[in-house]
Structure 1
Amino acid sequence: MRTAGTPDVTAEATLVEAVWGLLHRALQLYRDDPRATGRLRGELARLEQPLRVAIAGPWRSGRSTLLNAIMGEEVAPVEGADGDTFFTWYEDGERPHATAYSTGHPPQDLTVVKSATGMRVDLVGWRAGELRDIVVRWPTRALRQLTLIDTPPVTGPDEHGRAAVLDRVLRDADAVLYLTRDGRASDLRVLTAARDSATGQAAPVNMMLVLSRADEVGGGRVDALLTARQLARRMHRDPAVGALSLNVLACSGLVGLAGRLLTGSEFAALAELARVPRAELEAYLLSAERFLRGEPPARVDAAQRAALLDRLGLFGVRLATTLVRTGCDSRTKLSAELIRRSGLTELRESVSRLFIDRQETLKARSALVGLEEVLRAEPGPGSAELLGSTERILAGAHEFQELRLLATLRGAGLGFDAELAAEARRLVGGDGVGLAARLGFEHDAPAHELWQAAAEARWRWRDRADDPLLRLPQRRGAQVVVRSCEGMLATLAAGGR
């Protein structure tokens, strides 16, 4: 819905400039403290860098698989000795390149071996615990607007290790895709930790919750992806979840990646299996062992079946053969349908709408988190004044007010009916931050139509903001919407689109 070249109407540059000014004041304040100035210069630098999106979650939540699906190539995980884990950063680059950052050695270049579907990084010679970070530079369109971070698991037996990983995720990432298999309470407690700081409480939402491995819901039945989407929608309506997450989505990274990488020979093998009567084939698809060791009446040998299981999983084989039978009679059609059903398209659209479109706001939020940590860790003359300025930006910045309202609208806390809540969500950028998306236009529209829609919306919501019969939270929510409408009108008056 957002048109190319459409600017954000919420004057994000003003917020970034305010944060930039605060960081420079802090640099002057801490000019004799190398550690503090190093942190502050890092925060300034990331304002100019691509948005950092971490993919985090517990053990076996599918973090690396989802990252591969987003990129459309098999580049993760980069595996260390004896299952060693570390942060792996994927950045755009002109050529494949990887650099290791360790606790006791200077940065070292690593050998990158390209394959037909991605790459492998050679970590021979590195001992467990030595590596802290690996930065992979990889030429791909998916990384032109963001940096993806593959993180160690944030749950496990080592409580101290879990806390350290989560602290780094929240410190280093501007936005987080948090993966969970079932949305259990322990995962929600991890998300709650993001709100501990003053910045986190004032601008709490920079996460999306992803029900990963959605193909395994309900025992991996053929309707597993549909069931997972229904579960995600129920969670999305839960106020406790809405306060922590901008969106809740279901996605099978394995099925999505299979759709992006499906080869002609894999399609041919699936088509051969699909020719077997469904009742006969189902008997071989009850378990992976039966599919591998049995002899289904099709010309697909054991090696081909093993490759299909590796690419699609047992659920994916069931789904793909069903789709071939029902009309996906080419590799292109099957790939597109696997991607659609996996939830990957919806996930990528949400990342674009809620993260990339708001990247200046999210990066400003990260810089304020870093500044707050420095000011609280090393108080001194002038630090209290800077902390007060930080809090005033957090309280007054309209961009953060929009994020808070979006989180509140996820539940029934404001008391708006469904139609009003949907309009408010759209006007404050929940469907995209461009003018067309906010005003409900799918394509380019004449400026006078956009102006009329914005003006009418402002008057409607101004009436609600001034209505003494409405509860105070409703009036305050309406005030945020009014300010968003005024921002749109100001952009149009200045000749913006």
Structure 2
Amino acid sequence: MTVGLRLDEAAWGLLHQAIDLYQHDPRVVGQLRHQVARLEQPLRIAVAGPWRSGKSTILNALMGEEVAPVERADGVFTWYEDGAAPRATAYPAGQPPQELTVVKSATGLRVDLGWGAGDVRDIVVQWPTRALRQVTLIDTPPVTGSVEQGQAPVLERVLRDSDAVLYLTRDARDSDLRLLESGRDSAVGQAAPVNVIMVLSRADETGGGRIDGLLTARQLARRHYRDPRVSALSVNVVACSGMIGLAGRMLGESDFAALASLAQVPRAELDVHLISADRFLRGELPVRLETETRAALLDRLGVFGVRLAATLVRSGFDSRVKLSAELIRRSGLTELRESVTRCFIDRSDTLKARSALAAVESLLRAEPTRGSEELAGAVERILAGAHEFRELRLLVALRNARLGFDAESAAEAQRLIGGNGVGLAARLGVEHEATVQRLWDVAADAQWRWRDRAEDPLLPLAQRRGAQVVVRSCEGMIAELVAGGR
């Protein structure tokens, strides 16, 4: 929340100033008007990462349906957006859009490009689902090459065309960090590195497939987030097995029955058959399970997932509903979805405004013209006053207990900066129908208490700075009340 002009309003005004500045160039004006239109469109979240990082699986897990990938569409950006009916359209370079055949199944849909991808750069898939009502998800080609060699065009487009990024990596290796650092080579990137969540994907493979592998992956994610280099590049680090999460969301009664049958076998005896996929598929199991059923379980859960699910059934998750919920929780999907909601969806106006600022800055650098220096100064002033970015960074720091606040103070700070919702009532923790006077009293009381914290010399510097952000948020709420808004 900004005291004075909101960030999205400032971005809208900046775009129109740029349109006036470049009015002599229809091509540039068209690009800028496209950016204006994006402010009113759903938030764009790209799922990006290197080869075999599990992008399509994570996307399917977030949607709860098998919709990706589009077959034979390697190297193509596939956009998944809400629509009244299933539909897919390919956009070949220099040719009219072409409708693709969509086959709906019990678990999702299948889209076949039907011919070699060739010059097709984008495919737009419309799919009626609640998961896409607020966002557009983008399945991207693998990020390859190195920044030093100038061979990361996929990431360049991801950062240009999306508002937020789920960057998938198996181990957050140095090459991944260097690629993400390339996205900060701008004033917007330096001032507002708030549009990336790093996902340690394929978390079920951590620890050599041991039953505690997902727990190990979560511990690794927390360790990475405490790394200053990583936390400077992403607002959060989450470990997630897209395969286990998707299996949990789509678990059917027949799947559960098969897993319950396996759970009847003592663990030590069953583990012998789960050393490899081939042994489980072709070996003689102690219980009767058809080959087709075994293959379906492996396809849905993998060897690790079958072992985990059988263990959970033995541990008391003895119904489809219970097992489904626990698989989703253990996979890390619940944490990932919550992080996406709080860091991206709840802050969609902030992130779309960030995209607009980045677009104007890029234009001014690539095509300077008379008056562009003044407009670049306006970009810097907006960034300097953008309290929304500070709120987002503090929100994640509080969630990861990095500042050392006690639990009660951390919960209040999180609420005041919009962690439980960005409306006034949600921030102040009062009923939605509260009077203006009630909102004012609560906001003023919070402002003074947190100002005392911000000025307390006995508190660590990090806590004082966090308190300053909370104070600014309270000032913004009071300013909104003074202006007559609620």
Q: Which letter does structure 1 place at the counterpart of 2:299?
A: D
The residue number in structure 2 matching 1:4 is: none
Which TM-score applies when normalising by structure 1? 0.89
Match of 1:65 among 19, 37, 57: 57
The residue number in structure 1 matching 2:474 is: 485
Deviation at 1:303, TM superposition (A): 1.6
After TM superposition, the structure 1 stretch with the greater mean CA deviation from structure 2, 236-245 or 197-206, is 236-245
8 Å contact from structure 1 (residues 199, 369) kept in 2: yes
Match of 2:79 among 78, 89, 94: 89
Q: Confirm whether residue 134 of structure 1 aligns to residue 123 of structure 2.
A: yes
8 Å contact from structure 2 (residues 72, 112) kept in 1: no
Match of 1:294 among 278, 283, 287: 283
Change (3 A) 1:13 1:326: farther
Deviation at 1:467, TM superposition (A): 5.3
The residue number in structure 2 matching 1:247 is: 236
Q: Confirm whether residue 16 of structure 1 aligns to residue 8 of structure 2.
A: yes
Q: Which letter does structure 1 place at the counterpart of 2:76?
A: F
Change (3 A) 1:133 1:139: same
8 Å contact from structure 2 (residues 280, 294) kept in 1: yes
8 Å contact from structure 1 (residues 458, 482) kept in 2: yes
After TM superposition, the structure 1 stretch with the greater mean CA deviation from structure 2, 26-35 or 484-493, is 484-493
Report the Cα distance in structure 2 between the residues aligned to 1:101 and 1:187, rounded to whole angstroms. Answer: 30
Change (3 A) 1:311 1:473: closer
The residue number in structure 2 matching 1:120 is: 110
The residue number in structure 1 matching 2:195 is: 206
1:62-114 CA-to-partner distances (Å, cap 9, x unmatched) read 11001001101101011326xx3211000100011111112232211111111
Change (3 A) 1:190 1:157: closer
The residue number in structure 2 matching 1:260 is: 249
Match of 2:303 among 298, 310, 314: 314
Report the Cα distance in structure 1 between the residues aligned to 2:364 and 2:145, rounded to whole angstroms. Answer: 32
Change (3 A) 1:222 1:450: farther
Report the Cα distance in structure 2 between the residues aligned to 1:495 and 1:234, rounded to whole angstroms. Answer: 45
Deviation at 1:457, TM superposition (A): 3.0
SS at match of 1:178: strand
Report the Cα distance in structure 2 between the residues aligned to 1:473 and 1:70, rounded to whole angstroms. Answer: 34
Change (3 A) 1:160 1:113: farther
SS at match of 2:340: helix
Deviation at 1:460, TM superposition (A): 2.8
8 Å contact from structure 1 (residues 243, 407) kept in 2: no
Q: Which letter does structure 2 place at the counterpart of 1:17?
A: E
The residue number in structure 2 matching 1:5 is: none
8 Å contact from structure 2 (residues 262, 310) kept in 1: yes
Report the Cα distance in structure 1 between the residues aligned to 2:4 and 2:85, rounded to whole angstroms. Answer: 33
Report the Cα distance in structure 2 between the residues aligned to 1:437 and 1:221, rounded to whole angstroms. Answer: 42
Deviation at 1:444, TM superposition (A): 6.2
Report the Cα distance in structure 2 between the residues aligned to 1:317 and 1:389, rounded to whole angstroms. Answer: 56
Deviation at 1:480, TM superposition (A): 2.6
8 Å contact from structure 1 (residues 39, 370) kept in 2: no
The residue number in structure 2 matching 1:385 is: 374
SS at match of 2:444: helix
Identity of aligned residues (%): 71
Bigger relative contact order (CA 8 A; separation at least 6)? 1
Unaligned runs of 5+ in 1: 1-8
1:30-55 CA-to-partner distances (Å, cap 9, x unmatched) read 12212211210110010010000011
The residue number in structure 2 matching 1:282 is: 271
1:189-244 CA-to-partner distances (Å, cap 9, x unmatched) read 22212211111111121111111111111011111111111111222222222221
Change (3 A) 1:178 1:147: same
SS at match of 2:68: coil
After TM superposition, the structure 1 stretch with the greater mean CA deviation from structure 2, 421-430 or 35-44, is 421-430
Change (3 A) 1:449 1:296: farther
Change (3 A) 1:494 1:27: closer
Deviation at 1:436, TM superposition (A): 5.8
Report the Cα distance in structure 2 between the residues aligned to 1:231 and 1:349, rounded to whole angstroms. Answer: 19
Match of 2:214 among 225, 239, 259: 225
8 Å contact from structure 1 (residues 87, 134) kept in 2: yes
After TM superposition, the structure 1 stretch with the greater mean CA deviation from structure 2, 423-432 or 455-464, is 423-432
After TM superposition, the structure 1 stretch with the greater mean CA deviation from structure 2, 39-48 or 485-494, is 485-494
Report the Cα distance in structure 1 between the residues aligned to 2:303 and 2:431, rounded to whole angstroms. Answer: 41
After TM superposition, the structure 1 stretch with the greater mean CA deviation from structure 2, 314-323 or 417-426, is 417-426
Report the Cα distance in structure 2 between the residues aligned to 1:160 and 1:93, rounded to whole angstroms. Answer: 40
After TM superposition, the structure 1 stretch with the greater mean CA deviation from structure 2, 10-19 or 243-252, is 10-19
Q: Which letter does structure 1 place at the counterpart of 2:341?
A: S
Report the Cα distance in structure 2 between the residues aligned to 1:289 and 1:12, rounded to whole angstroms. Answer: 64
SS at match of 2:344: helix
Unaligned runs of 5+ in 2: none
The residue number in structure 1 matching 2:38 is: 46
Report the Cα distance in structure 1 between the residues aligned to 2:430 and 2:261, rounded to whole angstroms. Answer: 42
Report the Cα distance in structure 1 between the residues aligned to 2:28 and 2:309, rounded to whole angstroms. Answer: 55
The residue number in structure 2 matching 1:33 is: 25
The residue number in structure 1 matching 2:330 is: 341
The residue number in structure 1 matching 2:354 is: 365
After TM superposition, the structure 1 stretch with the greater mean CA deviation from structure 2, 310-319 or 150-159, is 150-159
Q: Which letter does structure 2 place at the counterpart of 1:55?
A: V
Q: Which letter does structure 2 place at the counterpart of 1:31?
A: Q
Report the Cα distance in structure 2 between the residues aligned to 1:361 and 1:65, rounded to whole angstroms. Answer: 28
Report the Cα distance in structure 1 between the residues aligned to 2:466 and 2:31, rounded to whole angstroms. Answer: 36
Q: Which letter does structure 2 place at the counterpart of 1:480?
A: V
Which TM-score applies when normalising by structure 2? 0.91
The residue number in structure 1 matching 2:364 is: 375
Change (3 A) 1:12 1:256: farther
SS at match of 2:183: helix
8 Å contact from structure 1 (residues 237, 410) kept in 2: no
Q: Confirm whether residue 455 of structure 1 aligns to residue 447 of structure 2.
A: no
Change (3 A) 1:436 1:312: farther
